[in-house]
Amino acid sequence: MSFTITNLSVSNSYDDKSSLAVTVNDSYRWLEDPDYDETGKIVSEQTVISQGYLNKIPYRTKFFGHLKEEFDIPKLSCPSKQPNEKYYYFMNTGLQNQDVYYELDSLSKSTSQAQILIDPNTFF
């Protein structure tokens, strides 16, 4: 598969310490705009090309299985005591997409007694 890269060159001039202007060409500036139709087209075409190579890796499934095992561990941030005398922290049970924000009355209580304040995993 091949695709045409649109040439929308941009140049920036910078003054160096000796007061000489240095011109830097930025031929791919247009790719920085995610809403530009050509950017989306190029990204889609690049994805197809990349997936063609990645799907040929014989150990890919086993590798991702191993990564999933390694990352499936609970993660807990350090609790932060606030002026209201309560503690706040983030926790992720392992493979949650986002950490959950909790409130706890006392550090002597179990994390199972904490109240969920924000769980971004339930937003969608």
Q: Which helix (H) or strand (E) holds 54?
A: helix 37-54
Q: What is the pLDDT of residues 91-119, one digit of tens each?
A: 999 989 999 999 999 999 988 899 999 99
Confidence of residue 77 (pLDDT cuts 50, 70, 90): very high
Per-residue pLDDT, 28: 82
Strand partners, 29: none
Per-residue pLDDT, 2: 61
Collapsing DSSP to helix, strand or coil, 62 comes out as helix
Domain ranges of the chain: 10-56, 74-122
Dihedrals phi, psi of 112, to nearest 5 degrees? -70, -15
Per-residue pLDDT, 81: 96
Q: How far apart are CA 81 and CA 120, in angstroms?
A: 22
**Structure pTM?**
0.55
